Amino acid sequence: MSTPGVVGYLDSLYASPGDEVTVRASVLDGGGRYRAQLVRLICGETGPSGPGLKEEPVATELAGEHMGSEQPVPISSYAIVDNIPPLETIEFSLLVWPTLPGRGTQALMALGPVRLVLDAVGAATIAVDGETISTKVPLRHRAWHRVEARYDPATGSASVRSEPLRGFHADRVAEASGRLRAGVRAAGPLLIGASPCVLRRASLAQDEGRCAVQDQSSPHPEPATEGSASEDARPLFSGSGADAATQHFNGKIEAPALRSRELEAEWDFSRGIGTTRVEDKSRHGLHGHTVNAPKRAVTGARWDGSVHDWRRDLSQYGAVHFHSDDLYDAGWQPSLRFRLPETLKSGYYAVKLQASGPPFYVGFIVSPKPGAPRAKVAVLASTVTYLAYANYRRRMSPGPFELTMGALPTVDMTDVLLAEHPEFGSSTYDVHKDGFGVGHASARRPLFNMRPTGRFWNFAMDLCLIDWLEAQEIAYDVISEHELQERGVELLAPYRAVLTPSHPEYVSLEMLTATEAYLGAGGRFMYLGGNGFYWRVSFDPAHPGMIELRRAEDGTRAWAEQPGQYYHATGEYGGLWRRIGRPPNALVGIGFIAQGFDASTYYRRTSASRDPRAAFLFAGIEDEIIGDFGAWGDGAAGLEIDAFDLALGSPPHALVVASSEGHSNAFLLVNEEMLSNSRGVDGTLNSRIKADIVFFETPAGGAVLSTGSIAFVASLAHENYRNNISRLLRNALDRFLDPAPFKLPM
Amino acid sequence: MTGPAIDPRRLNLAAEFRARPFGRHSPELQALLDIMHRAENCQDLILVSIAPGRWVLGERRIGGKPPHLFTDEVFESREAGEWAAFRRRWQVLAGRELELP
């Protein structure tokens, strides 16, 4: 009953034969030894109703036992300006919107041992070499304040001030002044939203510091304070490396300024949105950069609700939202490097790491080399959706989960390991410590869901399609959505048919446009899942490997984006593609209608299934009921399901050849289908709750088949792949591979 | 004086759940489950797979900390785990242990 003793990640979610792959591993069990093996993944852990886990070892120099150690994770975001010259006097000024005041000391600006912080009660405080002066008046939660502090090293005189901005509450200015240790020179990099790790560990209270190791070279070690003299700071990680910052701030900061006799600098966060750049608007050009992707394009102190697109008035978007649990790049040292064999088959793969406990799979996609011969069929692996779900913690938090899901949440011991390590970051289904949604997902950290085991969902579920293609002896390639983002329709063009797996939920504009272009050129597309093409994501050029998501306005949401912040840092309007005017129905004929996580059900053929246009689909299928079996919930129609809807752009000539029925009480109509709450929205009462199988031809001779259910692929292996779902898909694929053009109905 | 949150005499609903924990339920069973699944009644239970085909109940903890595992009882299916959770909740909400023939 132990958790994996080793975890790791790769530099990319995809690779090609002949590529060198770098593995970054961290050994957590203290043993130092672990084994590694490249495996080709054929089928996930399906449970007793399916074929079960299938993996094949691949011989590479990776195989064998290795030595390693635990590697730290420098979680938390902040900004840093490296080249501050030595200063005689120092004055900090900034606007602050705290989201967790009173939750430990949080640094607003720090230059070596001179720091402006919110103290343990959330009051503005100037700290110099361990001595402090506090206003003793906490800043108000989620309210803007101007905060200032001054320190003169010659005399030791110091002051601090906080002033609430606008509003009609009984806020008041708070000020304090006095003398602190004289002669302390402000030096070193300036940190905004954190303190540098130049403080002795013993001087940091347990809830305040995360410096990994004492920096013995510090010119300004902070003396021990009462009550903490013998205590080391509790690192958030337990590795041996050094972090650069501590005392991380949660909340928004705007217009930080640093003034002295020598210079005046002010950083304008509205400049450089969409980059890591932090721009000093003074003549000194003291530019800096952000660390760990804090959220930009967020409303600032001047935002008045008149503007919602940050590009229209930058002055209202001068803030950055920092989080102590932001993570872009774990930054681990390379542990292993190996080369993929030149003859390696395209597919789903994993580097299987094994120490104590169960293995940790580091999943990735092997796609054909550019220019290499292609199969006629491509599986478009949902790597963007895998990333959006990566490190999903919500199931392990208290709450009435079953009212939504209809069943107990399930996890395994790898998920328990994730819960033990908050430093691995969260998923876009989680919220930060301050309650704001996690809108960034980065691949530069261990990803706990890119594996064939655990929850039968996404990556593990999608392997059912791979298993079926193998069983059918159909030649195929696997390509990734990340490549689609980079290469566009050129990636899809060589394929006669492109198949999605079970749940391609998160899609960028570039991905959507490329898919449309493929269909426009006569491509044949199979959407073999549910709740696809739902949320818009964007790729941030400044943070390779990371996606951004803003859950705006509507939809089945784990959290809601804040007002005024619906536009991504790329400038794109976020939210549901349906709300943006590009509904999935217009692309693949169906769109999200309901979800339930207790049991699946079956499809019943419609009269349209007898239409001559659909004859090829049902060749050899006499059954009226199809898919009344499967490895998820004993049916092919389940989990998240999609329906045909002319009003949302489903093609009028499309054939709905089968629809599911008999869904359970747990299946609830999605809220974007309701203008107000109502009764009668569960699967036992609402006839709109059904998964539709839809077929339609396109003008360029192509066609689309959509099956409308995440559980669909989990039925393919039933009775050794001899069942009506398998037959339907085989019939469809055979025709889709036939170069004869499809013809639009008259 | 208030009575139990659910009627301990409605053993027919417990029997219905035991026979079919997943899928369509009668309106009366669904109403009972809606009471059991409320935040104040759900006991923050979770099913934890400790090995393929082996499950234990756990309790979710604030802040997403690792769940507390109830390792005294190991289940061989999700259905068995759901039934165990039902029985725990019944005992609290009905005021007596669930005894079903």
Rounded to the nearest 5 degrees, what angle is found at the Cα of A76, between the Cα atoms of A75 and A78? 140
A188 & A99 share domain: yes
Give the one of A393, A395, A403 whose C-beta lies nearest to B37's C-beta.
A403
Q: Which CATH number covers residue A105? A: 2.60.120.200
Residue of chain B whose Cα is closest to the Cα of A664:
B24
Provide the token pair at A363.
């999943």
CB neighbour list of residue A738: distance below 8 Å, 6 or more residues apart = none
CA distance B101 to chain A (A): 24
A86 & A60 share domain: no
What is the arithmetic mean of pLDDT over A602-619?
98
A24 & A112 share domain: no
Contact call for A400 and B38, based on CB within 8 A = yes
CA distance B30 to chain A (A): 7
Question: Would you say A443 and B78 are in contact if contact means Cβ atoms under 8 Å apart?
Answer: no
**pTM summary value:** 0.94
- The answer to whether B65 faces chain A, any CB pair under 8 Å, is yes
Q: Which pLDDT value is given to residue A235?
A: 30
Q: Which pLDDT value is given to residue A24?
A: 98
What is the arithmetic mean of pLDDT over A497-502?
98
* Domain membership flag for residue A167: yes
Give the one of B22, B44, B48 whose C-beta lies nearest to A599's C-beta.
B22
**A80-97, pLDDT tens digit by residue?**
999 788 888 999 999 999
CA distance B9 to chain A (A): 23
A124 & A151 share domain: yes
Contact call for B30 and A665, based on CB within 8 A = yes
Contact call for A410 and B47, based on CB within 8 A = yes
* Domain membership flag for residue B38: yes
A203 & A234 share domain: yes
Residue A477 has pLDDT above 90, yes or no: yes
Contact call for A665 and B71, based on CB within 8 A = no
- Amino acid letter, A460: A
- The answer to whether B99 faces chain A, any CB pair under 8 Å, is no
Q: Which pLDDT value is given to residue A218?
A: 36
* Domain membership flag for residue B37: yes
A207 & A241 share domain: yes
Q: Which pLDDT value is given to residue A236?
A: 30
Residue with tokens 């094949």: A56
Contact call for B49 and A410, based on CB within 8 A = yes
Give the one of B38, B55, B66 whose C-beta lies nearest to A416's C-beta.
B66
What is the arithmetic mean of pLDDT over B17-33?
97
Which of chain A's residues have a Cβ under 8 Å away from the Cβ of B30? 665
For chain B, the domain total comes to: 1
* Domain membership flag for residue A694: no
Q: Which pLDDT value is given to residue A724?
A: 98
Q: Specify the DSSP class assigned to residue A355.
A: S
Q: Which pLDDT value is given to residue A238?
A: 28
Q: Point out which residues pair with A592 in neighbouring strands.
A: A642
Which of chain A's residues have a Cβ under 8 Å away from the Cβ of B67? 396, 411, 416, 419
Q: Which pLDDT value is given to residue A168?
A: 67
* Domain membership flag for residue A308: yes
Contact call for B47 and A409, based on CB within 8 A = yes
Contact call for A599 and B23, based on CB within 8 A = yes
* Domain membership flag for residue A277: yes
Burial (CB count <10 Å: 0-12, 13-18, 19+), residue A581: exposed
A181 & A41 share domain: no
Interface test with A, best of B13, B24, B32 (most A CBs within 10 A): B24
Question: What's CA B73's distance to the chain center, in Å?
Answer: 14
Q: What is the ipTM of this complex?
A: 0.97
A220 & A368 share domain: no
* Domain membership flag for residue A487: no
Range of the domain at A199: 78-322
Residues 1-20 of B with CB under 8 A from A: none
Chain A to chain B Cβ contacts (< 8 Å): 106
Q: Which pLDDT value is given to residue A88?
A: 86
Which of chain A's residues have a Cβ under 8 Å away from the Cβ of B80? none
- Biggest CA–CA distance in chain B, Å, is 47
Q: CA A243, A244, A248, A250 torsion: positive or negative?
A: negative
A230 & A206 share domain: yes
CA separation (Å) from A104 to A152, A204, A399?
A: 26, 10, 26
Interface test with B, best of A2, A396, A681 (most B CBs within 10 A): A396
**A515-573, pLDDT tens digit by residue?**
999 999 999 999 999 999 999 999 999 999 999 999 998 999 999 999 999 999 999 99
**A407-451, pLDDT tens digit by residue?**
999 999 999 999 999 999 999 999 999 999 999 999 999 999 999
* Domain membership flag for residue B90: yes
Residue A716 has pLDDT above 50, yes or no: yes
Backbone angles phi, psi at A486, to 5 degrees: -80, -35
Q: Which pLDDT value is given to residue B3?
A: 78
Burial (CB count <10 Å: 0-12, 13-18, 19+), residue A99: buried
Which of chain B's residues have a Cβ under 8 Å away from the Cβ of A399? 39, 42, 44, 60
* Domain membership flag for residue B2: no
Model confidence band, residue A222 (pLDDT cutoffs 50, 70, 90) = very low
% of residues, chain B, pLDDT over 90:
92
Q: Which CATH number covers residue A51? A: 2.60.40.10
Model confidence band, residue A242 (pLDDT cutoffs 50, 70, 90) = very low
CA dist A293 and A694 (Å) reads 41
Interface test with B, best of A28, A408, A415 (most B CBs within 10 A): A408
Last residue of a domain, one of A288, A322, A356: A322
Residue with tokens 């995809």: A14
**A584-594, pLDDT tens digit by residue?**
999 999 999 99
Q: Which pLDDT value is given to residue A170?
A: 65
Q: Which of A162-171, A535-544, A668-677, B70-79 has the lowest mean pLDDT?
A: A162-171
A229 & A341 share domain: no
Q: Which of A31-45, A206-220, A550-564, A610-624 has the lowest mean pLDDT?
A: A206-220
Give the one of A409, A419, A683 whose C-beta lies nearest to B65's C-beta.
A419
Give the one of B24, B46, B71 whose C-beta lies nearest to A664's C-beta.
B24
Which residues of A have a CB under 8 Å from any CB of B?
1, 45, 47-48, 53, 393-403, 406-413, 416, 419-420, 422, 430, 454, 598-599, 633, 662-665, 683-684
CA separation (Å) from A298 to A143, A315, A319, A334?
A: 14, 11, 6, 35
Which of chain B's residues have a Cβ under 8 Å away from the Cβ of A684? 24
CA distance A686 to chain B (A): 13
A114 & A241 share domain: yes
* Domain membership flag for residue A60: yes
For chain A, the domain total comes to: 2
**A276-307, pLDDT tens digit by residue?**
999 999 999 999 999 999 999 999 999 999 99
Average of per-residue pLDDT values in chain A:
93
Q: Which pLDDT value is given to residue A28?
A: 97
Higher pLDDT, B2 or A517: A517
A19 & A45 share domain: yes
Please provide the DSSP assignment of A418-438 as one string: HHH-GGG---TTSB-TTS-B-
* Domain membership flag for residue B3: no
- Amino acid letter, A117: V
Range of the domain at B81: 11-94
CA separation (Å) from A570 to A545, A550, A575?
A: 15, 11, 14
* Domain membership flag for residue B4: no
Contact call for B50 and A684, based on CB within 8 A = no
